[in-house]
């Protein structure tokens, strides 16, 4: 917690008047302009104050603790700011041209009677804000994939209009049902490649400003130094994100002294297989082809089906039966099949309109009925 400030009247200083006058300009007169973090105290005390304040029936309530903590971090912000003026009682030192050290003075009186001069470590609150930003905005970044993704994106930007018109034409071709399976696959692969590269490059939108914030001297780096710094930053971001993911996974389903293995490794894949089987009535071969599952095993040659695919469908169906209740999934299947019949009865223009309505509802966070009125009012 922040130590209560003592008076800054010059009479408190054990020195001659001439020396006292010399230091008056350096001493912060306004407590609001002082750097508040106390390096001599417990760096986690404020966080535990929030934990105690979250208690319900004598026990910490984690969702409430999270809200209190986030509000405290929002209010305090980054104390080691680099884009604004520092508090009056802080001096910055760039040691050896690299490490930035913050020195605070004029806040805490020592037993000998003078105000302490002390080096300020990065506060826990700053580290918590940094961890939250990285965990929320970043995926694990593979620098080896990032370089070709940047080259792809740069090349695409020079032909942006051609790419967009080509993809628009391809999507119309798909919607009109004219594309063969091979053509559909080519279009899908193009979109998938575009999406994957955009996802890789998107991480730079956060990472580069973050590096520049902590390294304001980055313009002095050579291109080789700059990209080496980005590469190593990617490695650290990846370590943070993977560590948080492992912790969350362990808390959710981990077992002590056992490998961290979920009961269902790929739930989205299994659910997709079950839906293709139950809702779209595809046979196993078509499901495997659609999902890119190889059918070359001896079991498939003998029995005509894949045990892997069969298990995927069973697991996926079990998930859906729990989600919709045992008797609810069959009813949900019928509703989805009815939706397929309705969608297929629409013309391409009517489908475009329905998609516009649904997107309007999502963007504006309104009901489908309200979104329909909004779309119709634009015409």
Predicted local confidence at residue 181, as pLDDT? 62
Helix, strand, or coil here: 8? coil
CA distances from 366 to 63, 153, 361, 375 (A): 27, 34, 5, 12
Distance CA 33, CA 85 (A): 10
Domain residue extents for the chain: 10-128, 135-253, 263-344, 346-379
Mean pLDDT, the chain cut into blocks of 10 residues (379 residues total): 38 36 47 72 84 94 95 89 78 79 85 88 90 87 77 71 70 64 69 74 84 84 87 90 92 88 87 94 85 68 67 92 85 93 91 88 88 84
Predicted local confidence at residue 5, as pLDDT? 38
Give yes or no for a contact between 229 and 221, defined as CB atoms under 8 angstroms apart. Answer: yes
Tens-place pLDDT, residues 201-233? 777 888 888 988 888 788 888 888 888 888 899
Distance CA 116, CA 185 (A): 69
Distance CA 39, CA 31 (A): 17
The predicted model scores a pTM of 0.67
Q: Which long-range contacts (CB under 8 A, 24 or more apart) does 1-7 make?
A: 1/38, 1/41, 1/45, 1/46, 1/49, 2/36, 2/37, 2/38, 3/38, 3/40, 3/41, 3/107, 3/108, 5/31, 5/34, 5/107, 6/109
Tens-place pLDDT, residues 101-135? 889 888 888 889 998 899 888 888 999 999 999 99
């Amino acid at each position: 917690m922040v130590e209560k400030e003592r008076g800054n009247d010059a009479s408190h200083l054990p020195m001659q008047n001439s020396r006292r006058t010399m230091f008056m300009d350096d001493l912060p007169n306004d407590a609001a302009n002082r750097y508040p973090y106390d390096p001599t105290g417990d760096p986690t005390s404020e966080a535990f104050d929030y934990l105690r304040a979250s208690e319900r029936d004598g026990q910490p309530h984690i969702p409430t603790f999270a809200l209190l903590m986030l509000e405290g971090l929002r209010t305090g912000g980054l104390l080691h700011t680099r884009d604004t003026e520092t508090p009056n009682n802080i001096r910055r030192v760039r040691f050896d041209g690299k490490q930035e050290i913050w020195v605070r003075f004029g806040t805490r009186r020592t037993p000998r009677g003078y105000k302490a001069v002390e080096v300020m470590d990065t506060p826990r609150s700053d580290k918590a804000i940094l961890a939250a930003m990285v965990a929320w905005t970043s995926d694990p970044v593979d620098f080896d994939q990032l370089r070709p993704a940047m080259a792809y994106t740069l090349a695409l930007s020079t032909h942006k209009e051609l790419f967009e018109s080509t993809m628009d034409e391809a999507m119309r071709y798909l919607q009109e049902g004219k594309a063969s399976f091979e053509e559909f696959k080519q279009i899908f692969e193009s979109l998938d490649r575009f999406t994957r590269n955009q996802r890789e490059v998107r991480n730079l939108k956060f990472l580069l400003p973050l590096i520049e914030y902590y390294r304001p001297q980055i313009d002095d780096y050579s291109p080789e130094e700059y990209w080496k710094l980005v590469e190593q930053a990617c490695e650290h971001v990846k370590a943070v994100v993977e560590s948080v993911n492992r912790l969350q996974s362990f808390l959710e389903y981990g077992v002590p002294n056992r490998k961290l293995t979920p009961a269902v490794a790929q739930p989205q894949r299994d659910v997709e297989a079950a839906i293709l089987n139950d809702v779209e009535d595809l046979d196993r071969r078509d499901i495997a082809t659609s999902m890119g599952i190889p059918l070359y095993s001896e079991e498939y040659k003998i029995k005509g089906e894949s045990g892997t695919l069969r298990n995927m469908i069973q697991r996926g169906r079990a998930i859906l039966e729990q989600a919709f209740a045992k008797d609810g999934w069959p009813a949900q299947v019928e509703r989805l099949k009815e939706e397929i019949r309705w969608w297929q009865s629409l013309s391409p223009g009517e489908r475009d309109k329905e998609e516009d309505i649904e997107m309007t509802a999502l963007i504006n966070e309104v009901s489908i009925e309200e979104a329909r009125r909004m779309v119709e009012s634009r015409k």
